[in-house]
A and B are shown apart, each in its own frame.
Chain A
Amino acid sequence: MSASSVVISCKNLWKIFGPNAAGVIDDAANGTATKQELLEQTGHVIAVKDVSFDVHESEIFVVMGLSGSGKSTLVRCINRLIEPTRGEIIIDGSDLARMDDDELRDLRRHKLSMVFQHFGLLPHRTVEDNVAFGLEVRGEHGRHKDEKVARALEQVGLKGWEKSRIYELSGGMQQRVGLARALAGGAKILLMDEPFSALDPLIRRQMQDEFVNLRSEVQQTVVFITHDLMEALRLGDRVAIMRDGQIVQIGTPHQIVADPADDYVSEFVRDVPRGQVIPVRSVAEWPKVRIRTDRSLEEVIAALKERESDFCFCVNEYGRFEGVLTLEQAESAVKGGAKEVREAVQTEFTSAHATTPLEQCLPLVADDDTPLAVVDDRNRLLGVATRSAIIEALHIEPAKNGGNGH
């Protein structure tokens, strides 16, 4: 996928719980004691140990780990609900640790939003008043506020429930209110702490699907915490696996499954039904030649020859996928008098939505060699997935101590 700017940058982050955290940190850094040993020796708990990672704009960055891995502490360091012991967190260019109270408040009001596992809603307020909370806090009132609230509620599918009380709603609906509250303010960065873990399994799956669709409208950057590997692989653009406060591996879902960094991760991914879980966008690449339909056919032929490719993918001005054009088709079209790409493009072409599991994509590429177009909800071209890439992702055996991607 295309490279984008780094929105959150975390460098050497530490969080130690205890009265003398700063004093213990050097021992912890230099020594080889485990978390348990250090707890017994010093009475301090190392929740986050020297964690570094970057989150890119518009990506869903999933942090996955078991209880006690430090993932919840980590996400709370990003908006300083928990004060880090040491390390840098840079959000949109500003260092979090250096911010004073006013700047921090500003950050929380405008740039960051959070969704919590147990919802965190105000029981004495109606649904719409809960959604309006963030807006109210930053001083917005009246019609503007009401419009934003209405729009957020519609986005999460709760139109009509504005005046209800929180206790009248089921768990799934309450979390939608939490989501609406986070979205209403238009924050560009969403922090989500196991948002679907408190819901029952059927609703959880539904919410995951809806969440992916929801995001297509406004491409927020999301830091998503979960203990469910399946959820991580389904939702994440990149996944970071945490254990005992440290990050063990960061990679795309495909990389995690195909190339586990150590035995711990291998153990985790052993039972993952890859075909059903890994979405096709995980193996998609940017097409070699991509051309807009309003270009001339001669340009296309020249480009294809130059890059030694037999075909190209065509999109319109908005990035919407239109079809495929082969070199032969282009040349014969020119002979027939056509000028622009759009006159020759083959619109009958298989494409798959980005979240389609690999298993379902196999039949689409079984017949020939042309790659599968991977598109989003609005049919914009995100990349292409070749048959070999799909097959490789499905069948490869996990290698020991393989590499990982940041």
Chain B
Amino acid sequence: MREKEIDEVSAGAPAEKRTLWRRLAGAQTAGGPSLVVKVGVLVVVLGIVLGALSVSYNMASDEVRQGPLFEFMEDWVVKWDVVKWINQQIDWLVVHGDAFFSGIRDGVLIGILNPLRTFLLWLPWWLVIIGTGVLAWRVVDRRIAIVVVLFLGLMGILGMHDLAMTTLAVVLTATLLCVALGIPIGIVAAKSNRFDSISRPILDGMQTMPSFVYLVPALMLFGLGMVPAVLATCIYAIPPMIRLTNLGIRQVDSQILEASRAFGTTTWQLLAKVQVPLAIPTILAGVNQTIMMALAMVVLASMIGAAGLGVEVLTGLGRINPGQAFVGGISIVFLAIILDRISQGFASRPGARPAA
């Protein structure tokens, strides 16, 4: 019955779209050259045309090049200086938004980062090792717990423990902010198709843009220090959180949703009682991804003032001290593996996952 319903709904596509597609697809089965051949011919023709254009440009004399046609286009390019415009906007923000951005910086610093960092540094190293080992044992399995203890122990021996704790504080703070912002945005994207289609290219852009680029506005608006590093990390790491929350909610079994609606839920009740609880495994996968991306930013974050393991790597690179850089780097890797396994463990617990 269900399959039939789905068929019925998809069959109800607009008539025009369907006939066009059918014509295109039908071109293959009808007589005459196949679709592939037609497309191939088109590409070749296009190539020839472009080739001819570029050759003729090259062969053209200078006079032609400076003729009205090209001059018009160059004028146009020169007059619209996007770079300058962006700079102007950022300058304006820096001047006028000082109170706002300082407020954010201090809030994050005092409210989250510092307490977390202080706490982690205060814990005795052996407690951290044992505690994390036990956590790994409970949430994953014994083998991973041993690996975790081993890695943390190695880091301690290498003298990287305190730095690792600092990096951990930065990563956790960034993750916390990403979760706090990302889940609500993800929920909105799940409920509104329009918001989803607008946000999707934005998120794509955010994930493709080199993470280096985020350092610049962070630096300009918040200055040097831990908080700008955290915020730059946040921007880099939030897309998977939003995406996976969106996905998780959209993928909740439609039959369960239908049954719940039949009992008279409001939109809010449906979200809170059904959709979010059932999306938790996917949301936790999003948290895992966010943590990983935050760790990927560690070295870059150190460039604008984040203390921690990244500083070791940077210092090593700067002073041509490969040993130091390597030790810092491998510690980041250890931290990454530990955090990855533990957060994945949370996502796969039987309680968290709705059984089929």
Contacts and interface: CB of A to CB of B under 8 A. Distances in A.
Given A45-B12, A47-B8, A124-B277, A79 B262 contact: yes
Interface in A101-126: 104-110, 112-114, 116-124
B354 A123 contact: yes
A33 interface: no
Interface size, B (range): 20 to 34
B264 A137 contact: yes
Nearest to B256: A120
Contact of A138 (B12, B260, B261, B264): B264
A19 B11 contact: no
Interface size, A (range): 35 or more
Main secondary structure of the interface of B (DSSP, over half): helix
B260 A120 contact: yes
B255 A45 contact: no
B277 to A, nearest CB: 5
A108 B261 CA distance: 8
A118 B265 CA distance: 19
B12 A19 contact: yes
A67 interface: yes
B18 A108 contact: no
A18 B263 contact: no
A17 B12 CA distance: 6
A103 to B, nearest CB: 11
A371 to B, nearest CB: 42
Interface in B1-51: 1-2, 4-5, 8-9, 11-15, 18
A163 to B, nearest CB: 14
A120 B15 contact: no
A18 B12 contact: yes
B274 interface: yes
A268 interface: no
Given A39-B11, A43-B12, A122-B274, A109 B264 contact: yes
B355 interface: yes
Nearest to B263: A134
Nearest to A47: B8
A146 B263 CA distance: 18
A72 interface: yes
A42 interface: yes
Contacts of A19: 12-14
A167 B355 contact: yes
Interface of A: 17-19, 39, 42-45, 47, 67-68, 72-73, 79, 81, 104-110, 112-114, 116-124, 133-134, 136-138, 165-167, 178, 181, 185, 191, 194
